[in-house]
């Protein structure tokens, strides 16, 4: 989560209750591959400590070639995986064609996953997304993503337009799990949204 899950936060969490995996704040592929000053800023976001492992770098963007370059950088930094953010609902991210805006561009989304996998080498690649853009409409979208063979597919149980204004549709997340099983996808499906209890 942007401005929350930095390395200091992740270290604190690892000392309190070690989770199975941790993710970085999301990092702009454009900034990471654009110019030295932007890259330096992004490299700060990609700092991690060994105690955080396994730690996954989350990337966002809209250009396959930038995902390819960014994935190589992440791989060389020693991360345990790469997560592609196709779920951020923020207008400033969506206006770049990134985050949840990719729901409206499934061909581009597939190209992005392919480019990221090429750059990632043997690192597992996962995807985070939502159950639709304007309204709940996930079947074709999820099938396209599952067709890219992600290691993990995290489903935020709201549409882009719902932001976080309504309760997450956990019933729809269950439908996505059933769909993945129906098509024989080996991807692990994670649900996301309204997780308010640690016990």
pLDDT of 199 strictly over 60: no
pTM over cut 0.75: yes
Counting Cβ atoms within 10 Å, is residue 3 exposed (0-12), middle (13-18) or buried (19+)?
Answer: exposed
> SS3 sequence, 85-153?
EECCCCHHHHCCCCHHHHHHCHHHHHHHHHHHHHHHCCCCEEEEEECCCCCCCCHHHHHHHHCCCCCEE
pLDDT of 182 strictly over 90: yes
Least confident of 31-40, 174-183, 185-194: 31-40
pLDDT band of 1, cuts 50, 70, 90: low
Residue with tokens 């304007």: 134
Residue with tokens 């709201």: 158
Amino acid 15: pLDDT: 83
* From 46, 88, 115, 125, the catalytic residue: 88
Q: Of 7, 50, 51, 52, whose CA–CA distance to 25 is shortest? A: 7
Active site residue 29: no
User: What is the C-alpha to C-alpha distance for residues 125 and 114, in angstroms, rounded to an integer?
Assistant: 10
Kindly report the average pLDDT of the chain as a whole number: 94
Q: Which fold has domain 7-191?
A: TIM Barrel (3.20.20)
Q: Of 195, 127, 197, whose CA–CA distance to 164 is shortest? A: 195
Amino acid 176: pLDDT: 98
Residue 48 and residue 72 in contact, taking contact as beta carbons nearer than 8 Å: no
- For residue 191, list its beta bridge partners: 155
Report domain extents, the chain.
7-191
Q: Of 117, 115, 119, 107, whose CA–CA distance to 144 is shortest? A: 107
């Amino acid at each position: 989560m942007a401005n929350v899950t930095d390395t200091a936060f992740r270290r604190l969490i690892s000392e309190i209750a070690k989770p199975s995996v941790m993710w970085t704040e999301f990092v702009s592929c454009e900034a990471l591959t654009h110019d030295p000053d932007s890259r330096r800023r992004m490299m700060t976001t990609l700092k991690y400590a060994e105690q955080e492992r396994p730690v996954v770098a989350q990337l966002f963007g809209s250009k396959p070639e930038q995902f390819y370059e960014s994935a190589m950088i992440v791989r060389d930094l020693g991360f345990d995986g790469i997560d592609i953010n196709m779920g951020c609902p923020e207008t400033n991210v969506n206006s770049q064609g990134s985050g949840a805006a990719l729901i409206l561009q499934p061909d581009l989304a597939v190209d992005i996953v392919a480019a990221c996998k090429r750059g990632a080498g043997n690192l597992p690649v996962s995807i985070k997304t939502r159950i639709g853009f304007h309204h709940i409409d996930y079947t074709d979208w999820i099938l396209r993503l599952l067709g890219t063979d992600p290691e993990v597919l995290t489903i935020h149980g709201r549409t882009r337009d719902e932001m976080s204004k309504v309760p997450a549709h956990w019933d729809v997340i269950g439908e996505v799990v059933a769909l993945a099983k129906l098509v024989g996808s080996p991807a692990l499906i994670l649900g996301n949204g309204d997780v308010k209890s640690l016990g």
